Structure 1
Amino acid sequence: METVYDARPRPVWREPRAIALLMAASLTTMANATISPALPGLERLFADDPNAAMLTRLLVPAPSLSVAICAPFIGLAADRIGRRPLLLAGVILFVVSGCAGLVLPDLPSIFLSRLVLGVAVALIMTAQTALIGDYFIGDERNALTSLQISARNFGGLIFILLAGWAAANSPRLPFAIYGLAAAFLPLMWRVIVDPPRRSRAGGARPAEGAEGPRSWRALLLLLALLQAVTNMIFFVMPTQLSFFFEAKGLGGAALTGSALGVLMFSGGSVALLYPRIQRITGRLGIFALGYGAMALGFLLLMLAPDARLVFGAAAAVGAGYALVSPSFVALALTLAPLRDRGLAGGVLTASVFIGQFCSPLLSTPLIASQGYSGLFLDSSLLLAAMAVTAVLGHVATRLRRG
C-alpha cells in the first residue's frame, strides 16, 4: 500500500523554537506587572521609609529603566556574539533577581533588585525579537508576532491571578512567582541555536541580509517613539489601578488582580485574531481600531461607578493594546537588514520600557493635580487623536491606490 504523507505545513505555534520564544515573551508581563497587586501592602510593610509612597510605585516600572539603558547595547552584542547565550543568561538572571524580593530587607534594596531584573529582561527580549526575525519570515513571522502578544497576555493572566492571591496572603509572596521562569530553561537550552551568519531562512525579502532602506534607522526611531507613547499610556493600568480602586473604595489586591486578569485575557484572545484582522484592515486600519478601543477603555474608567464597568474598561484597553503591539515588531523586523536585527530588537525593546518607566512619573503628578478622572480623560483624548490620525492615513492610502 502506498504511504500517504500529509504535506500541509505545521502551524508555527507547534514549532519547538516558536514555543521556546513564546515562553520567553511571556516573561515580559511577569517582569513588571506581577507585583502590582502587592503595592499597597508593600507600602504599608515599609511605612517607616519616608520615600515608601514613591518607591513602591516605582517597583513596577523599575526594570524598565534598566531595559531602556541596556537594550540597545545588548542588541549590538546580540549581532556580534549571538542570541542564544544572551537569552539563556537572561532567563537565569531573571529567576535570581526576580525572587530576591522575598528576602531583601528594605525598599531601596528591593528597588535595586528590580533594576537587575531589568537587565535580565533586556537580554531576553532583545534576543527573542532578533530570533523571531532569524527563524521566521512572511506570514509565519506575522503570526508569531501576534502569538507573542497572546503569550504575554495569557502568561500575564496566570501570573497576575497568582499574584493577587499571593498578595492577599503576604506582600512579599508575589516575588516567588518569578521562580517559575526556571521551568522554561530546559526547552530553550535544547532548541534555541544561533542560525548561520550567511544563510538564514530562505525566501526572504530582497533587503534581508543587505543594507535595507537608506532611511530604515530614522523610520525605526519614529516607530520606537510611537511604541513608547503607547506603552506609557497602557502602563497606567498596572501602576495606578490598585490605588484607583482604593481611592474609590472598590476593593483591594484581589480586585486589582481580577481586573488585570481581564486585561490580559482580553488582550491574549484578541491577539490570536490579529493576522486575520490585519489582512482585512491593513497596518493603519489596525492601528485605528486598536487606539480607538484603548480610548474607549480609558473613557469607561473615567465614568466607572462600580467594579463591573471597570472590567469592561480593562477588556477594551487590553484588546486595543493587543491589536497595535504586533505591528511594531513586524514593521521593525521588515525595516532592519539581517545584520542589524539585534540592534533593531534592542531599540524596540528599549522603547517599550522607556514608556513604561515614564508612565508613573507622568501620571502620578497628573493624578495629584487633576485626580484619576483627569488622568483617564487625558489618556482617552490622546488615544482618540492617535486613532483619528491612523484613520486619516488609512483613507489617504486608499485614495492614492485608487
Structure 2
Amino acid sequence: MTEVVGTRTRRAGAWQGILLLAGSCMPVLGSVLITPVLPQLSQHFAKEPAAEILVPMIVAIPALMIAIFAPFAGQIVDRLGRKRLLIGALVLYSLVGTAPVWLEGLTEILVSRVLVGVCEAAIMTVCTTLIVDYFHEEHRRKRYLGLQTVTTTLAATVFIIVGGALGAGGWHVPFWVYLAGVIIALPMLFSLWEPASDPTDAHVTSAAAARVPWRRILAPVLVTLFGGFSFYVLIIEVSYLVVSSGVSADDTGIIGAVAAGASLATAIGGLLFARMTKVRPTRLLPIAFGLQAVGMIVIGLTAALPGVIVGAVIASFGSGLLLPSLVTWAVSTTTFEDRGRVTGWWTASFYLGQFLTPILMGAITAAVGSLSIAVAVVGIAAVVMAVATLATLWRRGAGAVAEA
C-alpha cells in the first residue's frame, strides 16, 4: 500500500515487511518457547491440584485470551488505527512476558500468561491486518502471508532450540526472551505508519462496515477452528511424546531438537505455499489435512522415538501448508473497512482451537489410554476434514469456495 505524505508517496517495502513478520513471531514465541521445559514444570508443580491440566495451560492459556480478545482488537484496529495499538501491545508484552522470571506460584504464572495472551491478540491481529493493508497487490499479499508462516515457524524453531538450551539453567530462564517485544517495537515506531485506504481497494458504506461479513467468512472461521486444534497438537504434545518414548524429561536438548525439526518442517511447508502463487489456497486444504493425518497416524502406530520424529515431520509439513491457506482464504475478499474485524475473528478462531488442544487431548488420552493413540485419533479426524474439504471443492469448485 502507498501513503501520500505531503508531496511524497510512501510505499511499503521489504523493511516494513520484515518488521511485520518479526512482530508476527511474538505470539508464536508465546506458544513454543517454553515447550521444552514443560516436563520440568510438570515435575516442579506436581503437587499442585490439577497440575496435569494447569501446567500445559501455561502454554495454552494465552491462546484463549487471543480467542476472546482478537475480535475486540479487530474492532479497535478498524476504528482507532493500527500503529499505536501494535507498539503499546509489544511493550506490555515484554513486561508481562518476563514476569515468570521472578514468580514462583503456578497461579501467579497463569495470571501473567493471561496478560500475555491479551497482548498477543492485539499483536497478531494488527500485524496480519497491516500486511494486507501495506501489500495490496494480490501476488505481494499472498507472498507475505506465506512468508508469515515461514518466518513464524522458523522463529519457532529458533525459539524451541533457545528454550531448550536456556532450560538447562532452570525453567525460569527462557522467559527472558520475551524482551524481544520491546526490541522490535523500537524500529516499528519510526518505520511503520498508519495506512490510509488505497484507491484501488474495495470499499463499503459506513453502515455495512459496522457489520462482520459472516456470509463470507463463516466457512473459513469454522474450518480454522479445527485447523487451529490440529496445528497445535504436536506443538504442545511433542515434548511429552518424546519423553514417553524413553527420553529423560531433563534432556531438554533432545526434546528441543525433535520439536525444532518438526517446526522446520512446518516452515518448509509455508515456504512452498509462498511460492505457489497461482494455486488457490482452498485447493491445498485437503492436501494439508491429509498430510497431518498421515503423520499423526504414524505416531499412533509406533510410539518409539523414530516414529515420533517421522510422524511429527510429516504432520508439521502439512501444518505449514495449512495455516497460510486458511488465512488467505479468510482475508481474500475483505475490504479496507472490515479487514481488522475479519482478521480478528479469524485469529480468534485459530487460537481458540489452540486453547482447546490440551483440554481435548487430555480427554481423548483419558478415553483411549495413550497419548500416541490419542494423536492418531486426531489424525483420523484430519482424514475426515480432508475428505470434507475435498468434497466441498468438488461440489462447488475451488473458485466458489474461495469467494464464500
Common fold by TM > 0.5: yes
Q: Is the 8 A contact 1:89 1:123 kept in 2?
A: no
The percentage of aligned residue pairs carrying the same residue is 26
Q: Cα 1:272–1:208, aligned 2, differ >3 Å: closer, same or farther?
A: farther
Q: Cα 1:278–1:290, aligned 2, differ >3 Å: closer, same or farther?
A: farther
- 2:231 paired residue number: 234
1:338 to 332, 336, 350: 336
- 1:362 paired residue number: 360
- Residue 250 of structure 1 aligns to which amino acid in structure 2? V
- 1:41 paired residue number: 40
Structure 1 window deviating more from structure 2 (167-176 vs 215-224): it is 215-224
Matched, 1:279 2:278: yes
Matched, 1:243 2:243: no
- 2:263 paired residue number: 264
Deviation per CA, 1:250-309, whole angstroms, max 9, x where unpaired? 3433232112211211111221221443524x3332111111111111011112353223
- 1:149 paired residue number: 149
Query: Counterpart of 1:116 in 2: which secondary structure?
Result: helix
Q: Cα 1:215–1:158, aligned 2, differ >3 Å: closer, same or farther?
A: closer
- 2:6 paired residue number: none
- 1:113 paired residue number: 112
Structure 1 window deviating more from structure 2 (367-376 vs 55-64): it is 367-376
Structure 1 residue 43: deviation in Å?
Answer: 2.1
Matched, 1:186 2:183: no
Q: Cα 1:140–1:284, aligned 2, differ >3 Å: closer, same or farther?
A: same
- Residue 213 of structure 2 aligns to which amino acid in structure 1? W
Deviation per CA, 1:200-251, whole angstroms, max 9, x where unpaired? 33433x4578859x99323313311211111112212122222223233234
- 2:75 paired residue number: 76
Trace 1:204-353 onto structure 2 (pairs within 5 A): 204=201, 206=202, 216-252=213-249, 253-277=252-276, 279-280=278-279, 282-353=280-351
- 2:392 paired residue number: 393
Structure 1 window deviating more from structure 2 (106-115 vs 382-391): it is 382-391
- Residue 30 of structure 1 aligns to which amino acid in structure 2? L
Matched, 1:201 2:198: yes
Distance 1:319 1:202 in 2: 38
- Residue 219 of structure 2 aligns to which amino acid in structure 1? L
Distance 1:185 1:399 in 2: 39
Runs of 5+ in structure 2 lacking a partner?
1-11
Distance 1:150 1:283 in 2: 16
Structure 1 residue 70: deviation in Å?
Answer: 1.1
Q: Is the 8 A contact 1:84 1:192 kept in 2?
A: yes
Q: Is the 8 A contact 1:216 1:335 kept in 2?
A: no
Using structure 1 for the length normalisation, give the TM-score: 0.89
Matched, 1:162 2:159: no
Q: Is the 8 A contact 1:62 1:115 kept in 2?
A: yes
Distance 2:294 2:276 in 1: 19
Distance 1:334 1:209 in 2: 19
Structure 1 residue 387: deviation in Å?
Answer: 1.4
Q: Is the 8 A contact 1:27 1:155 kept in 2?
A: no
Q: Is the 8 A contact 1:135 1:201 kept in 2?
A: no
Q: Is the 8 A contact 2:38 2:56 kept in 1?
A: yes
Using structure 2 for the length normalisation, give the TM-score: 0.89
Q: Cα 1:273–1:55, aligned 2, differ >3 Å: closer, same or farther?
A: same
Q: Cα 1:365–1:334, aligned 2, differ >3 Å: closer, same or farther?
A: same
Q: Is the 8 A contact 2:53 2:358 kept in 1?
A: no
Query: Counterpart of 1:235 in 2: which secondary structure?
Result: helix
Structure 1 residue 357: deviation in Å?
Answer: 0.8
Query: Counterpart of 1:234 in 2: which secondary structure?
Result: helix
Structure 1 window deviating more from structure 2 (183-192 vs 19-28): it is 183-192
Structure 1 window deviating more from structure 2 (241-250 vs 365-374): it is 241-250
- Residue 229 of structure 1 aligns to which amino acid in structure 2? F
Distance 1:218 1:102 in 2: 45
Query: Counterpart of 1:299 in 2: which secondary structure?
Result: helix
Q: Cα 1:399–1:53, aligned 2, differ >3 Å: closer, same or farther?
A: closer
- Residue 18 of structure 1 aligns to which amino acid in structure 2? G
Distance 2:324 2:108 in 1: 35
Query: Counterpart of 2:122 in 1: which secondary structure?
Result: helix
Distance 1:400 1:270 in 2: 23
Q: Is the 8 A contact 1:209 1:337 kept in 2?
A: no
Query: Counterpart of 2:168 in 1: which secondary structure?
Result: helix
Structure 1 window deviating more from structure 2 (52-61 vs 214-223): it is 214-223
CA RMSD, Structure 1 to Structure 2 (Å): 2.4
Structure 1 residue 400: deviation in Å?
Answer: 10
Distance 2:177 2:306 in 1: 28
Distance 2:371 2:399 in 1: 42
Structure 1 residue 373: deviation in Å?
Answer: 3.5
Q: Is the 8 A contact 1:33 1:60 kept in 2?
A: yes
- Residue 166 of structure 2 aligns to which amino acid in structure 1? A
